[in-house]
Structure 1
Amino acid sequence: MVKFYQHTFDYDHTWSLVTLAFWLRYPNPFASHVLSTDVIDRYVDPTTGILHTTRLILKKGNAPRWARRFMKSNEAFILEESQIDPRSLTMVSKSKNISHKRIMVIEETQRYKVSPTDANHTQVQLEVRFVSNLGWGLTSKIEAFCQKRFADSSSKSRMGMSYILERLKDKYNLGNYFLKQPQ
């Protein structure tokens, strides 16, 4: 069985500013579990103009006691692949863990686009898929546990992005440049 989590929300900021904040979102006070981020590949497709980026993210987890016996470390590597299309003003980011895959695979997709109701807002569609192959009758329990934990922590992720958005807008005075969507 596979568990899913879906959520759609808006940032009260333009698509340009939100996509900039996406690259600068770590570190922030709501993501102390993120230890490092490294770009391992980046290129612009000459035909489409789409920016493709692959990053490796190292996170520190706080696994429950029952899960620790299956893990060698409480750190996990996440592979994040994203595409930014400046023509259609869309960004898609896909990430999944490459550590602890025997216990659980978490695949996350985020779609960023200009909000259909306000051109100066950005809509984000989040979809997450939880798949465990551990067996022994634990699969659905592990998936349900991870789904609940993800749902509980997703608000912290949004708070971290909002923190970075406000810093960009206020402290670095980038908000004036990014306040209105390009026509």
Structure 2
Amino acid sequence: FNYPWQHVTSSLWRKYPNPNSSHVKSVDVLSRTIDRKTGDVITDRLIGVEQSAPLWAIKLFNCSSTAFVLERLTVSPQLQRTTARSVNLSLSDYLTCHETITYTPHPANPTLSTLFSQTANITSAGALGWRMAEKKLEEHSVRRFSENAGRGREGECRKRTKGID
């Protein structure tokens, strides 16, 4: 991102609502604490999303298209590092998605740029006993994750340019 780490981190609190991530319906802060030793600000949030799950999966699991994700956002001012770790709560008996996003100052230009790193590990739990269905669910989830991640980054950039430039 072509913004300093401080700006990128502060814009995370304003990331939603975001027209590029219209699948995100709610963000609720569950807790916020400050680590007295490190000064880290740790925030746990519950994120409600409307997923376009395949119809066969909704019927098979008898579930709603609304899903919930638990996110832990850690802002480390001393290290100038922000980490967001999330895991799905909905359908976690069948499929889990562990996502980690980090923001750090760019080493070549720390006062003007921020590095963004995102990883996700999506796996089926094998609870179905139907490897073919599990594989299809994994493939769909990876595809949707990629689409949503791209839109989320676009939205972050738009939100950031409002009021900061």
**TM-score normalised according to structure 2 size:** 0.91
1:31 aligns with 2:25: no
Instruction: Note the residue ranges of structure 1 that are not aligned, 5 or more in a row.
Output: 1-10, 170-174, 176-183
Match of residue 86 from structure 2: 95
Aligned: 1:135 with 2:129: yes
- The equivalent of 2:70 in structure 1 is 79
- Alignment pair present for 1:50 and 2:45: no
Please state if 1:122 is matched with 2:117: no
Equivalent in the alignment of 1:8: none
Residue 165 in structure 1 maps to residue 156 in structure 2: no
Show the counterpart of 2:145: 150
- Give per-residue Cα distances to partners, 1:59-112, cap 9 Å, x unaligned: 111111221111421101110002111011001110111111123111100011
- RCO higher in 1 or 2 (8 Å CA, sep ≥ 6)? 1
Q: Which residue is 1:109 aligned to?
A: 100
Cα distance in structure 2, aligned partners of 1:156 and 1:128? 16
Q: How many residues align?
A: 160
Aligned CA RMSD, in angstroms, stands at 1.3
Q: CA deviation at 1:15?
A: 0.5
Q: Where does structure 1 differ by over 6 angstroms across 4 or more consecutive aligned residues? A: none
Contact 2:21 2:148 in 1 (8 A): no
Aligned mates of 1:148, 1:73 — CA distance in 2: 20
Residues of 2 paired with 1:72 and 1:152: CA distance? Answer: 22
Q: Can you give the 5+ residue segments of structure 2 that lack an aligned partner in the other structure? A: none
* TM-score, normalised with respect to structure 1: 0.83
8 Å CA contact retained: 1:58, 1:75: yes
Report the residue type matching 1:52 in the other structure: I
